[in-house]
Amino acid sequence: MHPLHAATFHIPDMAAGLRFYRDVLGYRIQSESTVSAALAVSWHAEKLAGAISVLMAPEAGSAGGHIRLIESPDAISCIPFQHYGWCGVEFAVQDNLTLAQHLKEAGCDILMEPMPPYRPMAAAGLFGEGLLFNEPQEKNPFHYTVIDTKSPVDQIAIAVLACRDRTISEDFYGQLLGAKPGHRAEMPLPFANKAMGLSEETVYQTGAMRVGRTPFIEIDQYPQASDQSTPPGLLPPGLALATFRIPSFDHLSTDLVSDPLNDSDPFYGGQRSATCLGPDGERIELIEWAD
Which of the listed residues 171, 189, 221 is the one where a domain comes to its end?
Answer: 221
Tell whether the model's pLDDT for residue 253 goes beyond 90.
Answer: no
CA dist., res. 235 & res. 43, Å (int): 8
**Residue 35 is part of which domain span?**
4-75+237-288
CA–CA distances in Å: residue 113 to residues 116, 121, 175, 194: 10, 5, 36, 12
Bond before 279 cis per omega within 30 degrees: no
Helix (H) or strand (E) holding 194: helix 190-196
pLDDT in tens, 188-236: 999 999 999 999 999 999 999 999 988 999 999 999 999 988 999 999 9
Residue 228's pLDDT is what? 85
pLDDT in tens, 128-187: 999 999 998 777 766 677 788 999 999 999 999 999 999 999 999 999 999 999 999 999
- Alpha carbon 124 to its chain's center: 13
pLDDT in tens, 109-127: 999 999 887 789 999 999 9
Closest Cα to residue 109, out of 133, 130, 138, 88? 130
User: 24 with 103: CB under 8 angstroms?
Assistant: yes
What CATH number is attached to the domain comprising 115? 3.10.180.10
- Do residues 114 and 215 share a domain? yes
Q: Does residue 228 sit within a domain?
A: no
- Do residues 109 and 127 share a domain? yes
CA–CA distances in Å: residue 236 to residues 33, 48, 77, 222: 20, 12, 10, 19
- Do residues 204 and 99 share a domain? yes
pLDDT in tens, 1-32: 679 999 999 999 999 999 999 999 999 999 99
Residue 213's pLDDT is what? 86
